[in-house]
Amino acid sequence: AETTLRVATWLPPTNPQNATVWPTWKKWVEEATEGRVEVVIENYTGHPKTIYDAVEDGIYDVGFSVEAYLPGRFKLSGVAEIPGEITDAETGSVALWRTYKDYFEPADEYEGFQLLGLFVHGPGQLHTKFPVNSLDDLKDKKMRVGGGLVNDLAERLEVTPVSAPSPKSYEMMQQGVVDGTFLPAQEQKFFRLSEISTDLTLFPKGLYTTAFSIVMNQDVFEGLSTKDQQAIMSVSGERLSQLAGAAWGKADDNGILEAKEKGVNVVFLAENDQRVKDLNKLAEGIDQIWVDSVTDRDVDAKAALADFRKYVDDINSKK
């Protein structure tokens, strides 16, 4: 191969990103460029938030990370993180990419990068050591939370928030430091929450999600021939976003299966369930928090939010 792209990845080897997304994209890129570009996937052992610097400064050529680790820098993808917006990871990811293309691209949040894709993990749900028969059951319970808009929701649910990185969930729940955690259903399997939670309560549109971006070093991208640039982008963008979303979504299904197998009480809530209605009421106005937070970006946030919702509905109606 004429060029080798080094991909920085973190997460465990079995995570869909490493088990499915990277190997598939590697195959796509190598085929599309007829072998002129080779992809090598390397384990990143530093903090995932420094992956952005690592790619921008040429330590790696491609990488992905959580945007919420660097709030203030990446704000616009937060549109997907508003509670109750996405139904599943694939839909959310494709809708996010389309919204980016239509509205966010000129704001240039990815200065110094060639953006290859945007995706979200599945809807964040309730993993608890107690049954959630009504939202009042959550009151004063100690819940682990990460960063982002879910904190606003946690405050409205009147839980006692305990901030910690998500991989700490197992330890903290096992020891009883927290009574539950907000995470996507896949973590029943990956973080082994099925061993220590008694209840998994699934809201149709979840409580939140997390946006990830896949970025490439700008100089490396521009150093490729136009033909190869086009070849890489033909297998990235919406295609890569969809690939990632679908893979992460499938992991949610596996997480739910795992939970059932281990005897966790899995509760699917219907749209007309009182808990869902209560949640929707509580979450009212959080979308405005996001709109207000991006006023310093030259973007029509209201229209972007409306279109994001439209894309989600569009994609779902075609399923």
Partner 1 sequence: MQLSRWIEKQYPEPNIYRWIGLILEGIAATVLLLIVLLTCFDVAGRYLFNNSINGAVELTQIGLAIMVFAQMPIITWRGSHVVVDLLDQILGYRIVKILAIFSVFIISTSFYFLAVRIYQLAERSLRRGELTEYLGLPAGHIAQYIALMSWVTAACMLTYGAYCVLKNKNISQSVGE
Partner 2 sequence: MSVVFIGFAVLLLLILVFRMPIAFAMGIVGFFGFAILQGLGFDNLFSFRWTAPLTLASNRVVETVQEYSLSVIPLFILMGNIVTRSGLSQELYNASYAFLGHRKGGLAMSTVLACGGFSAICGSSLATSATMAKVAMPPMRKFGYSDSLATASIAAGGTLGILIPPSVILVIYGLLTESSIRELFAAGFIPGMLGIVLYMAAVRYVVWRNPAAGPAGERMTFKERMIALRGIWGVLMLFTIVMGGIYLGVFTPTEAAGIGAGGALVIGFARRSLSLPGLYETLIDTARTSAMLFSVVIGALIFSDFINRAGLPDALLNFVTALDVAPIVVILVILCIYVVLGMVFESLSMLLLTVPVFFPLVASLGFDLVWFGIVVVVVTEISLITPPVGMNVFVLSAVLKDVRAGTIFKGVTPFWCVDILRLLIIVFVFQVSMFLPELLYR
Binding residues vs partner 1 (CB under 8 A):
53, 68-73, 111, 140, 142, 146-147, 160-164
Supply 117's token pair: 């894709």
Please choose which of partner 2, partner 1, none residue 142 contacts, taking the beta carbon within 5 to 8 angstroms, the exact cut-off set by kind: partner 1
Please choose which of partner 1, partner 2, none residue 42 contacts, taking the beta carbon within 5 to 8 angstroms, the exact cut-off set by kind: partner 2
Nearer to partner 2, 53 or 271 (CB): 53
H-run or E-run covering 5: strand 3-9
Nearer to partner 2, 12 or 35 (CB): 12
Spell out the alpha helix ranges (H) of the chain.
16, 22-32, 51-56, 89-99, 150-156, 169-175, 187-190, 218-223, 226-234, 238-261, 274-283, 286-293, 301-317
Nearer to partner 2, 5 or 32 (CB): 5
- Bridge-based pairing of strands 180-184 and 265-268 is unpaired
User: What is the spatial distance between Cα 263 and Cα 195, in angstroms, rounded to a whole number?
Assistant: 9
> Shortest distance, CB of residue 213 to partner 2, whole angstroms?
18
Nearer to partner 2, 73 or 310 (CB): 73
User: What is the spatial distance between Cα 125 and Cα 112, in angstroms, rounded to a whole number?
Assistant: 34
Binding of residue 212 to partner 2 (CB under 8 A): no
Give the CA distances from residue 302 to residues 2, 57, 135, 291, 311, in Å, rounded to whole numbers and listed in that order.
Answer: 45, 34, 29, 7, 14
In contact, 210 and 68? CB cutoff 8 Å:
yes
- Bridge-based pairing of strands 211-217 and 113-120 is antiparallel
Binding of residue 23 to partner 2 (CB under 8 A): no
Which listed range, 9-17, 109-117, 147-155, 223-231, lies at the site for partner 2 (CB under 8 A)?
A: 9-17
Q: Please identify which residue in 170, 182, 203, 208 interacts with partner 2, judged by CB under 8 A.
A: 170
Please choose which of partner 1, partner 2, none residue 72 contacts, taking the beta carbon within 5 to 8 angstroms, the exact cut-off set by kind: partner 1
> Shortest distance, CB of residue 265 to partner 1, whole angstroms?
25
* Binding footprint of partner 2 on the chain (CB under 8 A): 12-14, 42-43, 45-47, 49-50, 53-54, 57-59, 167-168, 170-172, 174-177, 189-192, 195-196
